[in-house]
Amino acid sequence: MDTTHKFITMFEAIGLFVAVVGVILFLASRFSGRKGDRIVALAFLLPTVLLISVGLVYPGLKTIYQSFYNAAGDAFIGFDNYSTIFGDSDQRTVLRNTVLWVVITPFIATAVGLLYAILVDKARVEALAKALIFLPMAISFVGAGIIWKFVYAFRPDQPGIEQIGLLNQILMWFGMAPKQFLIDTPLNTIFLIVVMIWIQAGFAMTVLSAAIKAIPEDIVEAARLDGVRAWGMFRYVTVPSIRPALIVVLTTIGIGTLKVFDIVRTMTGGNFDTSVVANEFYSQSFRSGNQGLGAALATLLFILVVPIVAYNVRQLRSSDER
């Protein structure tokens, strides 16, 4: 397929989309009154429901079903795939890494974002300072992975060889030997997590900064009159006021981290004991040809994400009620 053909297909698809929406809108506009409202709602919901069931619900159920089958998907093996995940030493390393990611990333990224938001709040160069930390958000995970791969790059300390990695060059300036950041376990997982924090801190900062700005001025004023100092202001005024925003940020980063795949795949390919569930699921399903184990890992990921999403939704609801 050449480029023009691709563009034609794209415009056809867009045209068709517009036509479909037009037909729905047209049909919906022909009904009115209470009964008509329901029909309108259905007309809008049904395509969505249809697409979700074809694109999400059915594959989801099928994946859960497959997770009880063997590598080729032709024999039922019960919970064997799940016992492999928790029994095999390589798979346990994968679980350990995922736990490290999920425990470290959201809290550090949120903490960094919050601290930064407070520090630059009302500063003279606020806009510039915010833009600087927000920039990594604009970079794709794969791009970030490649950038940091260079930061961590290793060359030996010997005549005629020049460092190409920023960190190792800094180590050399301080008279230390260069390190293999991406190979030495278990620290290499931490060095990968740093990349995720680098990306997500900007997101945390933006949301939290907006929340801080929304704190009513009179509360701050009242606290100040009561003689509250900086730390007290943070502890008793700022944090309680932005609690809903904090939870949204924590859970959003948490979910994103559980699904982390691109960074690991780009930087180490899951080697050197750095694999995580999402990466392992991919390599088992599509490289190793073990459909069953891949499906079991995907299901595990799903089970892990559900409570966070549920908590997130409940928090949103209770803050809406307030």
> Interaction with another protein in 25-84: which residues (CB under 8 A)?
27, 30-31, 35, 39, 42-43, 46-47, 50-51, 71
282-291's contacts with Cβ under 8 Å and 24+ in sequence apart are: 289/71, 289/72, 290/71, 291/66, 291/69, 291/71, 291/72, 291/73
Contact 135, 202 (CB under 8 A): yes
Look at residue 164 and give its three-state secondary structure: coil
- Binding to another protein in span 127-166, by CB under 8 A: 153-156, 158, 160-161
User: How far, in Å, CA of 86 to CA of 4, rounded?
Assistant: 50
Closest to another protein by CB, 130 vs 280, is 280
The tokens describing 91, both together, are: 């798979």
Name which position in 53, 83, 140, 271 contacts another protein (CB under 8 A): 271
Of residues 182-221, which lie at the interface with another protein (CB under 8 A)?
182-183
Binding-site member from 169, 206, 283, 315 for another protein (CB under 8 A): 283
20 part of the interface to another protein, by CB under 8 A: yes
Q: Which stretch binds another protein (CB under 8 A): 21-29, 191-199, 250-258, 314-322?
A: 21-29
Q: Are 201 and 109 in contact (CB under 8 A)?
A: yes
- Which whole-number Å values give the CA distances from 69 to 72, 73, 95, 149, 298, in the listed order? 8, 5, 21, 38, 14
# residues near another protein by CB under 8 A: 46
- Binding stretches for another protein (CB under 8 A): 1, 6, 9, 12-13, 16-17, 19-20, 23-24, 27, 30-31, 35, 39, 42-43, 46-47, 50-51, 71, 153-156, 158, 160-161, 180, 182-183, 265-266, 268-272, 283-284, 287-290
